[in-house]
Amino acid sequence: MTKPRVLISDSMSSQAVTVFEERGVDVVQSSKLSEAELFEMIGEFDGLAIRSSTNVTAELLEHASNLKVVGRAGIGVDNVDVPACTRRGIVVMNTPLGNAITTAEHAMAMMLALARHIPQANSSTHAGKWEKSRFMGMELTGKLLGLIGAGNIGSIVASKAIGYGLHVQAYDPYLTEERAARLGVKKVDLDTLLANSDIVSLHVPKTPETTNIISASAINKMKPGSMLINCARGGLVDELALLAALKSEHLKGAALDVYEVEPARDNPLFELENVICTPHLGASTIEAQEKVAIQIAEQISDYLVSGAINNAINAPSISAEEAQVLRPYLQLAQCLGSFVGQLTQDPIKTLTVTYGGEANDLNVSPLTVQVVQSILEHHSSYVNSVNAREVARDRNINVIEAHNEGRDEYPCRITVGVETESRSRSICGTLIQNRPRVIDVKGIPLESKLGEHMLYITNDDKPGVIGDIGSSTAERGINIANMHLGRDRRNGKAMVLLEIDESLGNEDLEHLRSLPNINNVRYLHFPALQ
């Protein structure tokens, strides 16, 4: 088996190379490639490991014919065209925890430096001055810190700030009251945070919702004499509005590690004495850089070798352990999705995947994605586990994930239901000895294993139908490996699932459709079960 290949195109700890090699991945490290050289080389690699220097653009991806994963050793993926990667089925990963402590410590250092004028006092003292009265500081103990964002980094800042005796409040739409209580912070809305905080510190990613979250309007709502810290992402703060607020002394000071334009070489904020600036140093410690290099190498290797997905930006996470557990369930999801996709010709309005029994205890997000992918593969030439949900959205398909907690005769059950303009249908499946089984089709119970070649037949429940099918297939040299029957009621609607040895042409299908009491005949192909 050919080893997967990974290119490290930015400067990175040598520990990353060691991890790749130990996990059976061929790795090339070349951090001084020109754009043209990168374009020429990238087609050879299954994975790309980067930091902040390499720009993964749509143009680069045009040359990346084998690329399956891009891994950013760090948090921010501003230098990666994530939508373009998603469209091409390329997983984008980062390392959100690797530099969380380092970045939180930098935010705390900026807070202390701002409160006590340490950089200014250091410069003055180095210049031979002794200006004690000029650098009168502020105690942090008892002050109110407002955190915008209480995720990985924000929660660490909260813990350290509480240790310094600060009171902490947080604005985060995803922060529950229970978690706020565990962190020892008060959950508030943004306006309350701005109005009451002595110090405001930003800990959110840059998204359309957070861009310029500290706008001119937001700054006007901030407590007079308060201070602002941004060690998160450039673009979260309207820098011109901040400049005006600092000049007017509405804000007492600001500490910035990130900027709208980087490298920041000519920023009017640098001219103000009440501003502390560092050149994007939040993650710049020896320990953090080793951590993120090792983590991204582990994540990329796990994905290329075992299919595990960790810390993906554009795909559901699956640990290596989960990948092993989920394997039979993923095959079941693939079969059910493929079954529905082959039967459904009209545009789908709603797709519902319902989990029951043991399936409720699983990480079902990858299973839902697998169902979506397997349906859409029969209607789209380019769909995969990464872009499946996006393709569904583009087609205005409403994907619903549901759970049934009721008792069931089967240990697990997955039900796939679709609605179109003209009809609705559902297919249920389970696992028996870790092999997929269909147990219900359109409300008709039956228990059928699936083979590579299947015939799906619906008929009226009349005597002689099964005999006609058997005779007709025998006459045409079609060998039946297995037959499974079901009906909704006596003399009602019935169904036959036949496993056959090879595919059928249209002529054979039309012949079967012509038999008495036959309503529909479809050939189904399940190549994953070969």
Closest CA to 188 of 156, 148, 157, 154: 148
From 51, 106, 280, 413, active-site residue? 280
For 40-43, the CB contacts below 8 A with 24+ separation are 41/7, 42/7, 42/67
| First-to-last C-alpha distance (Å) of the chain | 20
Task: Write the burial class of residue 511 (CB in 10 Å: 0-12 exposed, 13-18 middle, 19+ buried).
Answer: middle
Under DSSP, the state recorded for 105 is H
378 is annotated as an active-site residue: no
Residue of 177, 185, 194 lying closest to 158 (CA atoms): 185
Is residue 262 part of the annotated active site? The answer reads yes
The residue among 180, 184, 178 whose CA lies nearest residue 162 is 184
Annotated catalytic residue, options 22, 131, 249, 262? 262
87 is catalytic: no
- Within 10 A of 505 (CB to CB), how many other CB atoms are there? 8
Show the tokens assigned to 406.
């009721």
**Do residues 519 and 458 lie in contact, with contact meaning Cβ atoms separated by under 8 Å?**
yes
Ramachandran quadrant class, 443 (left: phi over 0; alpha: psi -120 to 50; beta: rest): left
DSSP of 126-184, one letter per residue?
A: HTT---TGGG-----TT-EEEEE--SHHHHHHHHHHHHTT-EEEEE-TT--HHHHHHHT
The answer to whether the CB of 457 falls within 8 A of the CB of 517 is: no
Residues 408/357, Cβ–Cβ less than 8 Å: yes
Q: Counting Cβ atoms within 10 Å, is residue 92 exposed (0-12), middle (13-18) or buried (19+)?
A: buried
From 233, 389, 413, 437, active-site residue: 233
Strand partners of residue 525: 453
- For the annotated catalytic residues, the residue numbers are 233, 262, 280
